[in-house]
């Protein structure tokens, strides 16, 4: 069974309002593309920081600018007006674990996608508030990123660890450490093994400057060796991106000996065979 759990019903720009995108017609567009691509299990995971309730977790200026919508309105919309699984993409904010747990625990999500987009106050994948150009070396940024990812995994707050090597998002536009990158992956993979969190295989990296799947084959291989479970997603921000480039993701998974994917319901997880690849 193919899944696409990391979906956004709207693009990231602020002008993409909830009123325009949290509609039955829009959800139907995602469902239609999923159907065409043989994806049976579909869920949405809007960014937590677009909801004003997220300001109880973090007061970063980017979050303050983005927090315009009502989280409970989103949950009610997905549950009552769509047949999609109800998820959320929640950032890991070190030190705010209790507040994140409260925010998530008060709602009946099917799953929570945990992300690291920031190292402290600096963004990995945005030009605004960027960590790049702060004077830190790429070695330091990479090790801090994967240490934070390890903390996110071990926090127990999340079901799925999103885009695990997001730090490579800029491809050759930003410096990258030399040589075998496994030394950076190690703490995160250990945390995956210890926590049992599902590791996301995401095709979004193919649409970024990186031009690669998340995670890199070596990271995936280390996770397989550590006995990890996997979730498959596109991180689509528009209907046409649902299940985008899944052939490549499935090839990587199957080539690494992965035969099953995680399926979630009310934060319970089971494994289902991947099944036939898309024609």
Closest to Zn ion by CB, 4 or 235: 235
Task: Give the nearer residue to Zn ion in terms of CB position, either 89 or 241.
Answer: 89
CB of 5 to Zn ion, least distance (A): 10
User: Given the complex with Zn ion, which of 41 and 235 has the nearer CB atom?
Assistant: 235
Least distance in angstroms from the C-beta of 227 to Zn ion: 25
Given 235, 252, 258, 274, the residue binding Zn ion (CB under 5 A): 235
Measured from the CB atom, the residue of 129 and 275 that comes closer to Zn ion is 129
Q: Considering only 113-121, 128-136, 168-176, 246-254, which stretch makes contact with Zn ion by CB under 5 A? A: 113-121
Whichever of 227 and 236 has its CB closer to Zn ion, that residue is 236
Does position 155 interact with Zn ion (CB under 5 A)? The reply is no
Name the residue nearer to Zn ion (CB basis): 159 or 235.
Answer: 235
Give CA–CA dist 122/31, Å, rounded: 35
DSSP per residue, the chain: -EEE--B-SS-SSTTS-HHHHSSHHHHHHHHHHHHHTTEEEEEEEEEGGGBGGGGGT---HHHHHH--B-HHHHHHHHHHH--SEEEEEEE--TT-HHHHHHHHHTS--SEEEEE--EETTEESS-STTBSTTSS--HHHHHHHHHHHHHHHHHTS--SEE-STTGGGTTGGGS----S-THHHHHHHHHHHHHH-PEEEEESGGGGSTT-S-BS-HHHHHHHHHTT--EEEE--BSSGGGTTTTHHHHHHHHHHTT--EEEEEETTEEEEEE--SPP-
Span 82-101, contacts to Zn ion by CB under 5 A: 89
Rounded least distance, CB 123 to Zn ion, Å? 11
Which residues, in sequence order, are CB contacts of 258 under 8 Å at separation 6+?
220, 224, 230, 274
Residue 20 Cβ vs Zn ion, minimum distance, rounded to whole Å: 19
**Rule CB under 5 A: is residue 115 a binding residue for Zn ion?**
yes
Q: How many residues bind Zn ion (CB under 5 A)?
A: 3
Binding string, residues 39-68; x marks residues near Zn ion by CB under 5 A: ------------------------------
Query: Among 102-110, 144-152, 229-237, 244-252, which window interacts with Zn ion (CB under 5 A)?
Result: 229-237
CB of 112 to Zn ion, least distance (A): 12
Give the interface with Zn ion as residue ranges (CB under 5 A): 89, 115, 235
């Amino acid at each position: 069974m193919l899944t696409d759990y990391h979906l956004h019903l709207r693009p990231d720009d602020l002008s993409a309002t909830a009123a325009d995108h949290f509609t039955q017609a829009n959800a139907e567009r995602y469902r239609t593309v999923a159907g065409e691509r043989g994806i049976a299990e579909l869920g949405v995971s809007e960014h937590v920081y677009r909801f004003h309730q997220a300001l109880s977790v973090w007061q970063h200026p980017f979050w303050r600018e983005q927090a315009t919508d009502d989280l409970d309105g989103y949950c009610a919309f997905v549950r009552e007006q769509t047949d999609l699984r109800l998820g959320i993409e929640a950032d890991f904010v070190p030190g705010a674990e209790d507040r994140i747990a409260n925010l998530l625990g008060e709602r009946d999500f099917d799953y929570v996608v945990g992300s690291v987009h920031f190292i402290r106050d600096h963004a990995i994948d945005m030009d605004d508030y960027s960590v790049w150009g702060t004077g830190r070396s790429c070695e330091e940024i990479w090790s801090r990123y994967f240490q934070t990812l390890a903390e996110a995994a071990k926090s127990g707050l999340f079901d799925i660890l999103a885009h695990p090597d997001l730090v490579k998002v800029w491809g050759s536009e930003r410096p990258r450490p030399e040589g075998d990158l496994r030394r950076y992956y190690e703490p995160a993979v250990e945390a995956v093994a210890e926590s049992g969190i599902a590791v996301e295989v995401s095709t979004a990296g193919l649409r970024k400057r990186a031009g690669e799947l998340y995670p890199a084959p070596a990271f995936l291989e280390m996770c397989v060796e550590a006995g990890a479970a996997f979730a498959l997603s596109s991180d689509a921000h528009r209907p046409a991106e649902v299940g985008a480039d899944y052939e490549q993701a499935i090839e990587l998974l199957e080539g690494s000996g992965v035969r099953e994917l995680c399926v979630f319901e009310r934060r319970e997880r089971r494994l289902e065979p991947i099944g036939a690849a898309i024609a």
